[in-house]
Amino acid sequence: DNLYSQILKAKTNDKKLLAILLDPDKIVWENLGDLISKINQSPATHIFIGGSHVKTNILDELIIKIKQDCDLPIVLFPGNPSQISDKADAILFLSLISGRNPDYLIEHQVKAVPILKQTQLEIISTGYILIESGNETAVASVSKTKPLDRNNLDLVLATAQAGEMLGNKLIYLEAGSGAKQAVPLEIIELVSQNIEIPLLVGGGIVDLQGIQNAYQAGADLVVIGTAFEKDLNFFNNRH
């Protein structure tokens, strides 16, 4: 089974998925062993790797090290085409469909093709939708796009449905890493009820209750970055 069919299967069985997002720029290499053991003890089902600013060429090394001690699938979540490593299992092939910057709609994707063709990565096309979060997040500033108004439910839904109609295999509702406000539950509810493909939700979720709320609203997979990065015991805590 490839990763995408596993995600579909989980959705069918109502098994919720959890990804821990690691930003290679923020890895403290001395603590990597501890980080990996904490991931192994956590309920995570996937590791996502990526970030808006990653420039360093440490992806391969990082993934090799993680794979030595951890069996979770590793999915690239790239900010740009330089963030590709054939050591990972899959890549979210993102198109930033909430924005109107052609670079993030198609240009980076075209540039990535010759690199991707050299790899065995499973490619999972993902409609990536940035939702206004109360602060300017890195993904908004780096992509130079305006997030969707969190109160404009019609526009958010039509954007997600356009993403599905275009053939994307996943929709990702993103508030942005370190978002002040996570994606509103009513948006998660509305979108999940009106698309067939799996729904990913992330950005600004800071406690376990926030994860449960997103699941209950209809998220199939929740992404946690900052909260775990700040506190490796995040998943052991009682919030």
Closest CB to ligand 1GP among residues 21, 160 = 21
Q: What is the distance between the alpha carbons of residues 185 and 183, in angstroms, rounded to a whole number?
A: 6
E strand or H helix that includes residue 209: helix 208-217
Question: Can you tell me which of 190, 223, 234, 235 binds ligand 1GP, judged by CB under 6 A?
Answer: 223
Site string for ligand 1GP, 11-50 (x = CB under 6 A): ----------x-----------------------------
Alpha carbon of 60 to those of 12, 101, 125, 203: distances in Å? 33, 29, 22, 25
Residue 183 binds to ligand 1GP (criterion: CB under 6 A): no
Token output for 233: 């015991």
Specify the DSSP class assigned to residue 24. Answer: G
Q: Does 131 bind ligand 1GP (CB under 6 A)?
A: no
Cα separation, 163 vs 172, whole angstroms: 10
Would you give the DSSP letter of residue 207?
S
Number of residues forming the site for ligand 1GP (CB under 6 A)? 14
Q: Is 130 in the site for ligand 1GP (CB under 6 A)?
A: no
225 labelled binding-site residue: yes
Extract the tokens encoding 161: 């449905």
Cβ proximity to ligand 1GP: between 24 and 202 the closer is: 202
Distance between CA 101 and CA 98 in Å, rounded?
A: 9
Please report, as a single letter, which amino acid is at residue 238: R
Find the part of the chain contacting ligand 1GP (CB under 6 A) among 34-42, 95-103, 151-159, 224-232. Answer: 224-232
CB of 140 to ligand 1GP, least distance (A): 11
Known binding-site residue numbers for sn-glycerol 1-phosphate: 172-178, 203-204, 225-226
Interacting residue ranges for ligand 1GP, rule: CB under 6 A: 21, 174, 177-179, 202-205, 223-227
